[in-house]
């Protein structure tokens, strides 16, 4: 009765008798269905099945349709012999069933199929389409595989990919308005996630350690040699525990600074890429970057009394860049600051800086238009009495200094490294 009242999360739809125009092949440890066009071609498409498996006639019909449109089309068994979902299965076991068929753990099979297409079919350009479960796979591959040229994710279940928006290749997402499995608010997040992309998140434990500074948690990393110089690192909207930010904190320590990244949200939840972007402004109102003075005072006291710091600077990213701008206008104890893609619109009337400040921006930042940067520079020229610098890095987007990994973005590597060197140079100059 439970199955009758509520069947499996995905309806098998109109299943029909269709033998297919292609044939089955064995590709190393994977079975696959292949259909080729009548004319020779170097273009291929990998078709990734839904939960009902690679032998579903409906999917083979789509494979044949791609071949009829001039593509070598292949639908491998990405379950590698495991049973596909059967509509008669107990839907309450679906979650457990799905755990053994992780759509983001298909890299070995993807490599095998790509090798087959290149070596056995002479394919030079390869794309991928996937349905439902296969749509999740497509989303994963578009994040990871530079050798694929494009992807089409057809009603992929977004909640399984909700922190992944930094696509490597052009991707088309297809959804149905009345999809019971994928609500429209999830589709909105897919089409337009939060204003800041979380970027290349990576596993990084850090070289420092966490401390409790009065009511604030903080991450601290110290240099090997004793020093009286310190830098406060102010995190972005993704919080003080983001590995990318800790990496920068450790980099500052490696350059001779006591570096500390406090939790300036003071226990409030950081932004999560899966959060509904439409509530972002309301979320931001409870985390005002110009109301960090109490926490800054606590951290400065800690650095002076516990770490013997005599000269203290500050750097900040995104939300933290706003905080730096605020502090450079107000806090006399800081010696210098670096605001990295701070959101200028919140500080349009504030240009009388107390301390030397370096502003870093990306030329292709969708969140901070170049006209805002130009206006900032003009106003600083009119009103600022201390040293400042505004630098725009060609082709770079929001988050490039700390959220983008230079090891997997060779085209951006020179600018990422240049910006980090410029930041260190500025700190060295004034600390």
Helix pair 243-254, 413-430: axis angle to 10 deg: 50
Please tell me the distance from the alpha carbon of residue 37 to that of residue 39, in angstroms, as a whole number: 5
- Rg (C-alpha) for the chain, rounded Å, is 26
Tokens of 193: 């996630």
The CB density around residue 159, as the number of other CB atoms within 10 Å, is 13
For residue 183, the cross-strand partners are none
Check 50, 64, 250, 365 and give the catalytic one. 365
Establish whether 209 is a catalytic residue: no
Sign of the C-alpha dihedral, residues 19, 21, 24, 27?
negative
Residues 65, 23 contacting (CB under 8 angstroms): no
Check 318, 325, 402, 412 and give the catalytic one. 318
Please tell me the distance from the alpha carbon of residue 278 to that of residue 262, in angstroms, as a whole number: 27
Establish whether 398 is a catalytic residue: yes
Locus of tokens 């990393």 = 221
Number of residues in the chain = 431
Residue 367's contacts (CB-CB under 8 Å, 6 or more residues apart) are 195, 196, 341, 343, 398
Tokens of 239: 């919080």
Establish whether 250 is a catalytic residue: no
Please tell me the distance from the alpha carbon of residue 406 to that of residue 318, in angstroms, as a whole number: 19
Check 75, 398, 402, 412 and give the catalytic one. 398
Please tell me the distance from the alpha carbon of residue 75 to that of residue 109, in angstroms, as a whole number: 12
Nearest to 237 by CA among 194, 182, 301: 194
Q: Which residues are catalytic?
A: 318, 365, 398
């Amino acid at each position: 009765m439970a199955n009758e009242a509520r069947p499996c999360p995905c309806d098998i739809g109109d299943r029909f008798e269709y033998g297919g125009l292609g044939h089955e092949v064995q590709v190393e440890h994977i079975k696959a269905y292949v259909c080729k066009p009548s004319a020779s071609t170097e273009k291929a498409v990998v078709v990734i099945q839904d939960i009902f498996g690679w032998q579903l006639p409906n999917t083979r019909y789509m494979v044949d349709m791609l071949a009829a449109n001039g593509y070598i089309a292949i639908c491998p068994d990405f379950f590698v012999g495991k049973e596909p979902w059967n509509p008669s299965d107990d839907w309450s076991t679906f979650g457990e069933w799905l755990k053994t068929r992780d759509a983001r753990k298909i890299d070995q099979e993807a490599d095998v199929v790509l090798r087959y297409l290149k070596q056995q079919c002479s394919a030079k350009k390869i794309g991928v389409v996937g349905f439902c479960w296969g749509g999740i796979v497509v989303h994963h591959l578009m994040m990871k595989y530079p050798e694929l040229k494009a992807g089409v994710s057809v009603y992929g279940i977004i909640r399984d990919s909700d922190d992944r928006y930094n696509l490597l290749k052009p991707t088309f997402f297809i959804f149905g308005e009345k999809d019971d499995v994928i609500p429209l608010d999830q589709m909105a997040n897919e089409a337009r996630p939060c204003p800041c992309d979380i970027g290349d998140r990576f596993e990084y434990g850090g070289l420092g350690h966490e401390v409790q500074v009065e009511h604030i948690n903080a991450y601290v990393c110290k240099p090997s040699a004793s020093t009286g110089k310190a830098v406060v690192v102010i995190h972005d909207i993704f919080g003080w525990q983001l590995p990318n930010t800790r990496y920068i904190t450790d980099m500052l320590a490696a350059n001779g600074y006591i570096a500390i990244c406090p939790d300036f949200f003071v226990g409030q939840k950081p932004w999560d890429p899966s959060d509904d972007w439409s509530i972002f402004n309301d979320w931001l109102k409870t985390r005002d970057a110009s109301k960090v003075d109490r926490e800054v005072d606590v951290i400065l006291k800690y650095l002076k009394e516990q770490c013997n710091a005599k000269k203290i600077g500050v750097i900040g990213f995104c939300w933290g860049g706003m905080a730096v701008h605020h502090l450079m206008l107000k806090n006399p104890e800081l010696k210098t600051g670096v605001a990295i893609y701070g959101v200028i619109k919140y500080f349009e009337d504030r240009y009388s800086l107390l301390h030397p400040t370096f502003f870093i921006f990306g030329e292709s930042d969708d969140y901070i238009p170049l006209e805002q940067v130009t206006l900032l520079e003009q106003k600083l020229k009119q009103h600022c009495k201390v040293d400042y610098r505004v630098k725009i890095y060609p082709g770079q987007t929001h988050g490039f200094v700390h959220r983008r990994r230079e090891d997997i973005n060779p085209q951006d590597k020179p600018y990422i490294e240049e910006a980090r060197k410029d930041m260190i140079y500025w700190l060295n100059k004034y600390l």
